[in-house]
Structure 1
Amino acid sequence: MKFIPIMEISGQIMTLIEDAEKSLIIVSPYIEIAKWEKLKKCLQRAVDRGVSIIIYTREYAKQNLDPLRAFKVKIILVKDLHSKIYLNDAYGIVSSQNLYHYSDINSIDFAYKTETDEERNQLVNLINKYLANSKPIEQYIIASKTEVGNEIVVEKEEGTNVFPLKDIDLEKIKEWFHDKFPEIKMNSTKQYVYCNKLLACGDVMLREGFEIRFSYGIKNQDQYIKAIQTLNFENNNYKYEKTLVTNNSQAPYLIYVPQEVTDIQKLIYDYIFIAKTIIDKTRNIKI
């Protein structure tokens, strides 16, 4: 690992966020970014690029997470969390610094950056072993705020959503898709399953939802999007929140996010049905 100069830690963390292409994991017991405009812009750009963002923070810590919820990232509370790790697709940073604006201005912190895939994978394994595969309180939550004096108190109802998906769940999804669609190529990590050319109009990523990544510059792209958006999946096992993201600098993507998932097998049945329905609906559209 390579030592990061003390005065460069926050900048390196923001660069790590900017470098994220598919996934970003932030582990920080204490988080406060309400007035940290530069960092919020980094997160917004990552969201706009379609980066999957998971944030682990400390259970019962006195902090305002509303600025993070505004980005619709996945927030997971973990009991007794004390580690600080920042991780994207290519490398990671281990630091004593929380994602806390006050720390950026006032604290003396130390940090190291990984230099090899092996070093990054060690961090991934730590997160999977002690955080993702433990039993954190998962924050697909209903939250309400009340002010008590000068302090904001967030009252929350914890959900039972199965996300983030565990290794065994992702492997099961991969096996089912390989069985139902043997002609497609697939690759997977501990965060997602990626189906290359599952659809004529692009690829599919399965992580916190069924995400259609349209091929860049494909002909009749608008026609594909319009056809898929007309589909109704209300009679599936789960209800789905649909979001279309467009950006001039990259191809659009459409994601169906399941709500309150408690059974991974039912989710797989839904995903298979969604894939087959989209394939049938778009079969006659010419590329």
Structure 2
Amino acid sequence: MAKFLNTSAINYFLEEIIKSASDRLVLISPFLKLNDRIKELLEDKNRLKIDVRIVYGKNELQPEEINWLKELSFIRTSFCKNLHAKCYLNESNCIITSLNLYEFSQVNNNEMGILISRDKDSEVYRETYEEAQRIIRISDEVRMSLERVPQESVSDIADPSNEQQQKISTSKLAKKLGLSTKQFLSQATEKGLLLDKDETHVLTDSGISKGGELRESKRFGQYFVWPVDFEI
């Protein structure tokens, strides 16, 4: 029989679902934003080569987090338009809840949810699993990368007459300069173009004057672009 969960119980069982996944893990949440505990748990699943699918409707990851996520080869991410469902499941249990993934371990909000066991609630679990699979099927799989250019910018880059289109992403510029993205960010910080703040980077006035620009995509979150002829 399904079990009612309050806020603290949701946090507990969500962590248990992630930790106990031995075959598959599906995390469906409108917002893709991960705290340190979630990252730690997902890294462990990746080391164990567990198939993890994350479906989201809006990406709020920082550039450094995107680089972190793209290194986890067993974690696949998919974008689903108009997603509002919150469902977290492994091969044995699932939670349907009001709790967004980014609110995990937070107790400021009052949340509710239900825990469904595959053994005790086989029919409800099956229907939930099938709906989760349907959402995955209608979603667009996205390989996290700072090199990915939002669709609305492709035509701009192809048109050299448009000043805004003569800019490229940090990873592409780093590659052009013979650097890794991490090396570029480090050197840009040393030169005062970026500020390292709370494990993320922020453009300084100097960086802006050199043509650096912060852009945002609903799918890929925030990222920096730079003039194609930029020299560090």
TM range (shorter): 0.5 to 0.7
Which structure is higher in RCO with an 8 Å CA cutoff and minimum separation 6? 2
Q: How big is each residue's C-alpha offset from its partner over 1:44-97, in whole Å with a ceiling of 9 and x where there is no partner?
A: 2212222100000005x5444625434331000010100000010111011111
After TM superposition, give the deviation of residue 38 of structure 1 in Å: 2.3
User: Structure 1 residue 97 and structure 2 residue 96: aligned?
Assistant: no
TM-aligned CA distance change 1:110 to 1:138, over 3 Å? same
Structure 1 residue matching 2:39: 3-state secondary structure: helix
The answer as to whether partners of 1:141 and 1:157 remain within 8 angstroms in 2 is: no
After TM superposition, give the deviation of residue 152 of structure 1 in Å: 6.0
**Partner in structure 1 of residue 5 of structure 2:** 4
Structure 2 residue matching 1:54: 3-state secondary structure: strand
Task: In structure 1, give the amino acid aligned to 2:133.
Answer: N
**Partner in structure 1 of residue 18 of structure 2:** 17
TM-aligned CA distance change 1:142 to 1:5, over 3 Å? closer
**Partner in structure 2 of residue 55 of structure 1:** 54
Cα distance in 2 between the residues matched to 1:102 and 1:133: 26
**Partner in structure 2 of residue 40 of structure 1:** 39
C-alpha RMSD of the superposition:
3.0
Pairing of 1:144-163 with structure 2 (within 5 A): 144=147, 153=215
Q: How big is each residue's C-alpha offset from its partner over 1:146-190, in whole Å with a ceiling of 9 and x where there is no partner?
A: 6776996466999xxxxxxxxxxxxxxxxxxxxxxxxxxxxxxxx
Pick from 88, 91, 108 the counterpart of residue 90 of structure 2: 88
Structure with the higher helix share, 1 or 2: 2
Cα distance in 2 between the residues matched to 1:32 and 1:154: 15
Unpaired runs of 5+ residues, structure 2, are 148-168, 171-200, 205-212, 221-232
After TM superposition, give the deviation of residue 105 of structure 1 in Å: 3.9
After TM superposition, give the deviation of residue 8 of structure 1 in Å: 2.1
Cα distance in 2 between the residues matched to 1:32 and 1:156: 12
TM-aligned CA distance change 1:104 to 1:69, over 3 Å? farther
TM-aligned CA distance change 1:31 to 1:156, over 3 Å? closer
The answer as to whether partners of 2:77 and 2:144 remain within 8 angstroms in 1 is: no
TM-aligned CA distance change 1:118 to 1:68, over 3 Å? farther
Pick from 104, 107, 132 the counterpart of residue 136 of structure 2: 132
**Partner in structure 1 of residue 122 of structure 2:** 117
Q: How big is each residue's C-alpha offset from its partner over 1:194-253, in whole Å with a ceiling of 9 and x where there is no partner?
A: xxxxxxxxxxxxxxxxxxxxxxxxxxxxxxxxxxxxxxxxxxxxxxxxxxxxxxxxxxxx
TM-aligned CA distance change 1:113 to 1:153, over 3 Å? farther
Task: In structure 1, give the amino acid aligned to 2:137.
Answer: N
Cα distance in 2 between the residues matched to 1:153 and 1:103: 29
TM-aligned CA distance change 1:20 to 1:105, over 3 Å? same
Cα distance in 2 between the residues matched to 1:102 and 1:88: 17
- How many residue pairs match? The answer is 153
